[in-house]
Structure 1
């Protein structure tokens, strides 16, 4: 009985949080499709439907982005650059293997360090509610490089 109750609570909790892919797409739209952006989002604020992806293409309204994504507890870090579609499967596999080999320790250190260095925040509005994303420094919203 306890296990089924735990699963039910987990499923309700998961459904009440927006998908990480929705937050990513919404952020890019809110910023009017920037040339690049780099942000952190807390694991607890989203449901990570992009788990296991490290370097991949992400298309939003006809705009393609190369996304570097890594878990760095307590955050997930996204770095997005507007670029033409490319096959990134080799890069994705390389980064995944690299994270496994080093046991994720650099990612953990990165997350702990980011917790001390984050200076800016922005709200992303989704159907499930607001999600706060975090930046190490203010981004120039019109930057090209």
Structure 2
């Protein structure tokens, strides 16, 4: 799925927009009310198919050289998963 709702146990809902960009996964997450995102999901899938995924392949290959920040997410089972960013997040930012 490319565009979908992700509802947490707390009741908060997020719209997730994601795509593969080899060797990474690119995503955008916005806290929003639940909506029917099926048309948008189909549209984004259609775009990926007609362009053969080439733009995201090139974006991912370029990202290998552009990524400058990594954070580790610690899972309950003790595993750690690296999350890569173009630049470090300003955690004190209000906007």
Q: TM-score, normalised by structure 1?
A: 0.60
Q: Which residue does 1:82 correspond to in 2? A: 31
Higher relative contact order (CA 8 A, sep 6+): 1
CA–CA separation in structure 2 for the residues paired with 1:85 and 1:144: 24
Q: Residue 91 and residue 143 in structure 1: after superposition, are their counterparts in 2 closer, same or farther (change >3 A)?
A: farther
Which of 94-103 and 73-82 deviates more? 73-82
Q: How does 1:1-145 map to 2 (within 5 A)?
A: 53-60=1-8, 61-126=10-75, 127=77, 129-143=79-93, 145=95
CA RMSD, 1 decimal: 1.5
Q: Distance in 2 between matches of 1:72 and 1:108?
A: 5
Stretches of 4+ aligned residues off by more than 3 angstroms: 142-145
Q: CA deviation at 1:141?
A: 2.7
Kindly state the Cα deviation for residue 116 of structure 1 after the two structures are TM-superposed: 1.0
Give the match's secondary structure for 1:80: strand
Higher strand share: 2
| Structure 2 unpaired stretches of 5+ | none
Rounded Cα–Cα distance in structure 1 between residues aligned with 2:23 and 2:29: 20
The CA distance in 1 between the partners of 2:38 and 2:25, in whole Å, is: 20
Q: Within 1, Cα distance between the matches of 2:35 and 2:47?
A: 21
